[in-house]
């Protein structure tokens, strides 16, 4: 329900179009260290949740999670906003594209850089979930046409917006100007741009992965057919640095169908650490707060 409410409220907010920062985050020599850093933004006149999310490349949901005591739906001049550009890398091979559904982020690991690029994404809505899979890019398409499924055409007709059998490239095409088809299923899943940037950072697509236009244009130029793609769902990330400091990053658990996840959290990375000096109550408080940023949980003996 929280994500649905944010989606509705974002529609009421003006979105200032800005060129986003596309900056690599260096990979630390010690893999236990968080990547990137928290930033502090002093709000200017006209700043909105949507415009800050787009400029800094952070999903609106993560911005709100990182600022739980502030009203980001009505940002005021001089208000201090924490930008959650610090994170723990998900447990997946550092190769190609990694998509973590729980945090609404896409990670890109270039072959020739000791760095990672991180982007906010929109993913499949309830009933049209983005699948968990290990696959690759099977097709690259610039200025793609869109062939909506029968179900999608029916949905649009019910909204009074009938669709043609094939939607040509252009401003009315929800795929935007760039699309990368995944070698999964019948090829119905894409990483693509959008003609509605407010959907990025939310759960609003029919199963595809949506990116801001400027982000997908950049990524399209970096990858090619055959680039590996991992789609995972990790709401809890844990790392330990060389000094024994333990960091925990917690996100709202997400099931593949969007309902509240009532399954026990995967604590396999934490359980052994509880016997080495970590306080279980501290761990549970961090998990419960779901700040979406790395929190120092303690130090193991």
Which residues are known to be catalytic? 192, 208
- Provide CB contacts within 8 A for 125, sequence distance 6+: 203, 204, 205, 206, 258
Q: Are 65 and 84 in contact (CB under 8 A)?
A: yes
Helix (H, G, I), strand (E, B) or coil at 180: strand
How far from 97 is each of 4, 31, 105, 220, CA to CA, in Å?
27, 18, 10, 12
Paired sense of beta strands 80-83 and 25-26, if any: unpaired
- H helices of 81-172, where? 150-158
Q: How far apart are CA 288 and CA 285, in angstroms?
A: 5
C-alpha 230 chain-centroid distance: 14
| DSSP at 294 | -
Q: How far apart are CA 15 and CA 75, in angstroms?
A: 13
Closest of 129, 206, 135 to residue 175, by C-alpha: 206
Q: What is the largest CA-CA distance in the chain?
A: 64
């Amino acid at each position: 329900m929280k994500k649905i409410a944010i989606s509705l409220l974002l529609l009421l907010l003006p979105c200032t179009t800005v060129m986003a920062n596309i900056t690599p985050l260096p990979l630390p020599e010690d893999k236990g260290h968080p990547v990137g850093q928290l930033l502090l933004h002093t709000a200017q006149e006209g700043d909105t949740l949507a415009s800050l999310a787009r400029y800094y490349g952070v999903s609106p949901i993560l911005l709100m999670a990182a600022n739980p005591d502030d009203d980001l739906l009505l940002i005021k001049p001089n208000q201090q906003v924490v930008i959650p550009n610090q994170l723990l890398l998900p447990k997946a091979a550092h190769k190609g594209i990694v998509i973590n559904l729980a945090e609404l982020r896409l990670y890109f690991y270039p072959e020739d850089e000791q760095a990672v690029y991180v982007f906010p994404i929109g993913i499949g809505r309830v009933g049209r979930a983005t699948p968990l899979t290990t696959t690759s890019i099977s097709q690259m398409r610039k200025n793609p046409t869109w062939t909506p499924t029968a179900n999608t055409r029916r949905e649009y007709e019910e909204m009074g917006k009938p669709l043609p059998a094939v939607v040509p490239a252009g401003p009315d095409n929800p795929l935007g100007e760039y699309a990368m088809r995944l070698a999964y299923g019948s090829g119905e899943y894409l990483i693509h741009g959008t003609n509605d940037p407010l959907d990025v950072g939310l759960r609003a697509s029919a199963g595809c992965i949506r990116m801001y236009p400027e982000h997908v244009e950049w990524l399209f130029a970096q990858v090619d057919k055959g680039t590996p793609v991992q789609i995972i769902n990790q709401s809890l990330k844990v790392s330990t640095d060389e000094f024994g400091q333990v960091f925990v990053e917690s996100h709202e658990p997400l099931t593949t169908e969007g309902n509240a996840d009532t399954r026990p959290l995967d604590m396999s990375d934490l359980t052994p650490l509880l016997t080495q000096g970590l306080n279980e109550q501290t761990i549970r408080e961090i998990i419960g707060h779901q700040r979406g940023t790395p929190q120092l949980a303690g130090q193991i003996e």
